[in-house]
Amino acid sequence: MKVVKIIMSKRIFIDPGHSKKDSGAIGKNGTKERDITLSVGLKLANYLRSSGFEIDMSRKDNNDNLPSNISQDLVKRVQMANNFKADAFISIHCNAATNSNAKGFEIFTTPGQNNSDKLATKIFSKVKSTFPNLTYRTDLSDGDPDKEANFYVIKYANCPATLVEMAFISNIEEEKMLNNPDFQDKMAFAIAQGICDYFGMEIKKENNSQNNDNNIKLIVNGKESKIPIKLENGRSYVLLENHWIQLRNLAELIFAEIDFDENNKNVILAIK
């Protein structure tokens, strides 16, 4: 009997800060932090999916069901990431201060040196090379640029975890920048580059929506899989270890059956 080893993709949990019930900081022109973090988070998810990662998010829109109680909200985000068995946790935020002149990019890890610091350094490096004119707020006392704080979501995540403060929404110039779709896209791509560097993977520039063919889903033994899937010329392909593999060939190797639900646009994989 042939033994087939399937190497699963790395799992990234993306946490766009705040929620339907908590708008986060609000800029002088009315920009809500939750809208910016969600936009960047979704773009980041697309880039990472295209590069071979499995993705889960604390929220995918502003109709989330996160608790209104802030403490419970934070606990829920961490539970979701840990249940997902994430290999990295990325929390995305916009900074704010009473001083309207405060500006710049920051990235946080928890106190001490561990793999979170390595991940943060990779992300910081790519963001800085992408936006050389941004102000960078760092703590170099321990030899790396990240700042340290016991933020709940990065303290209790069971994996390397960082919290990104993209810029100050309370600064009118940076508020305008945060609202710029080009800035959002470049920031998402820079963060994705840093994550790929950390895991030794190659970043793919293509947008995942082009590969997903109108949100076709892969259903494995009755449950939706987060493995990226696409259709080309009537054939289905899944993305494993940065390579598109024809699903039928994979199914033959693992003695599975494939079906296609055309009404719901689901590719169904039944593993015996």
pTM for the predicted model, two decimal places: 0.76
Query: pLDDT digits over 205-221, tens only?
Result: 754 443 444 467 888 88
Burial of 45 (0-12, 13-18, 19+ CB in 10 A): buried
Distances (CA, A) of 189 to 7, 22, 232: 25, 26, 26
Q: Find out whether 158 and 88 touch, Cβ atoms under 8 Å.
A: no
CATH code of the domain made up of 11-199: 3.40.630.40
pLDDT value at 54 more than 80: yes
Per the model's pLDDT, the better-predicted residue between 232 and 144 turns out to be 144
pLDDT of residue 1: 40
Per the model's pLDDT, the better-predicted residue between 143 and 264 turns out to be 143
d(CA 249, CA 36) in angstroms, rounded, equals 41
Q: Which two tokens stand for residue 156?
A: 């209790």
Q: Which residues contact 204 (CB under 8 A, 6 or more apart)?
A: 47, 50, 51, 52
When mean pLDDT is compared across 1-10, 47-56, 74-83, 129-138, the lowest value belongs to: 1-10
Residue 37 binned pLDDT confidence (cut-offs 50, 70, 90): very high
Burial of 1 (0-12, 13-18, 19+ CB in 10 A): exposed
Q: Which two tokens stand for residue 2?
A: 């042939």
DSSP single-letter state for residue 69: S
Mean pLDDT of 86-111: 97
Query: pLDDT digits over 174-201, tens only?
Result: 999 999 999 999 999 999 999 999 999 9
The share of the chain scoring above pLDDT 70, in percent, equals 89
d(CA 138, CA 263) in angstroms, rounded, equals 52
d(CA 242, CA 87) in angstroms, rounded, equals 16
Please, what sign has the CA dihedral across residues 178, 36, 24, 58? negative
Q: Where in the chain is the domain with CATH 3.40.630.40?
A: 11-199
